[in-house]
Amino acid sequence: METTMGDYRTIRYEAAGGVGTLTLNRPERLNGMTNSMLHESHECLLGVARDPSVRVLVLTGAGRGFCPGADLEHYTGDTAAGDAAGVAEITPTDQDFRVPVVLHEMPQVTIAAVNGACAGAGLGWAAGCDLRVAARSANFSTAFLNVGVAGDMGGPWSLTRLLGAAKARELYFLGEKFSAEEALGFGFVSRVWDDDAFRDQVDALATWLAGAAPLALAGMKANFSAAERVGYGDFIALETERHHRLIASEDCKEAFAAFVEKRAPRYVGR
């Protein structure tokens, strides 16, 4: 069954088959970020995080862009006071800026499906996801120094962990644009697909993950989250405790049986 959430102006959300898709939806501006988009995305993601029927969350953009960062024309022009329909722009809270944290820590596996320009805050959101995949025409940049700001959305934290301190600082201080193939080469994205096949490939990846044993999928995400908070020895203890619980689950027994019997497993989430 397909479900939708909320009455949003700058994003779309829909869920089906265990996969939720949050689409940044200002295609006429390549999904340039506004205060409303920031607030609505944060609100939507908090709701998804509480929904046990969603096991995978895909973050992508409508049209030709993913998110090139803040829509500077919006913030410097007459539209700063309201949108085309005359609806006043909101003031985001500090909590709204935690979007990449929510993407990183929510129980669902998160996939940034980068379909076009991805820069600034958009790059920070992509970096917060568990997986990043890109269309071949996608391009990336930190972009912050060029517009006179130090940055937001956690890039120095996430990129340092993903790519190492030297590469993260290079990307920030130099701000050079890089291609999807370059992003694949230094490990920022894990897959690059041709544009005409991109959406189908993203759907196939998300569907495959959503079809995995749900307790194991959530447990794996929880393991990675815990690994960033505790020392090695404490992590082994947490991982072992979770492993014993999952081994005793109905789904694990079903997975073992299906593997031996060479058939598709039938998971029940217990």
pLDDT digits (tens, 9 = 90+) for 152-211: 999 999 999 999 999 999 999 999 999 999 999 999 999 999 999 999 999 999 999 999
Residues 10, 33: Cα–Cα separation, whole Å: 9
- Above 80 in pLDDT, residue 87? no
Among 46, 52, 44, 38, which Cα is nearest to 13's?
44
CATH number of 214-261: 1.10.12
User: Which residues sit opposite 4 in a β-bridge?
Assistant: 14
- HEC assignment per residue over the chain: CCEECCCCCCEEEEEECCEEEEEECCHHHCCCECHHHHHHHHHHHHHHHCCCCCCEEEEEECCCCCECCECHHHHHCHHHHECCCCCECCCCCHHHHHHHHHHHHCCCEEEEEECCCEECHHHHHHHHCCEEEEECCCEEECCCHHHCCCCCCCHHHHHHHHHCHHHHHHHHHHCCCEEHHHHHHCCCCCEEECHHHHHHHHHHHHHHHHCCCHHHHHHHHHHHHHHCCCCHHHHHHHHHHHHHHHHCCHHHHHHHHHHHHCCCCCCCCC
Q: Where, residue-wise, is CATH 1.10.12 in the chain? A: 214-261
pLDDT range class, residue 91, cuts 50, 70, 90: confident
Q: Where, residue-wise, is CATH 3.90.226.10 in the chain? A: 3-210
pLDDT at 89: 73
The model carries a pTM of 0.93
Among 122, 117, 120, 32, which Cα is nearest to 76's?
32
In this structure, what token pair is assigned to residue 55? Answer: 């096991």
pLDDT in tens, 125-165: 999 999 999 999 999 999 999 899 999 999 999 999 999 99
- Which CATH number is 3-210's, of 1.10.150.120, 3.40.50.2300, 3.40.640.10, 3.90.226.10? 3.90.226.10
pLDDT at 79: 54
Average pLDDT over residues 241-255: 95
pLDDT range class, residue 1, cuts 50, 70, 90: very low
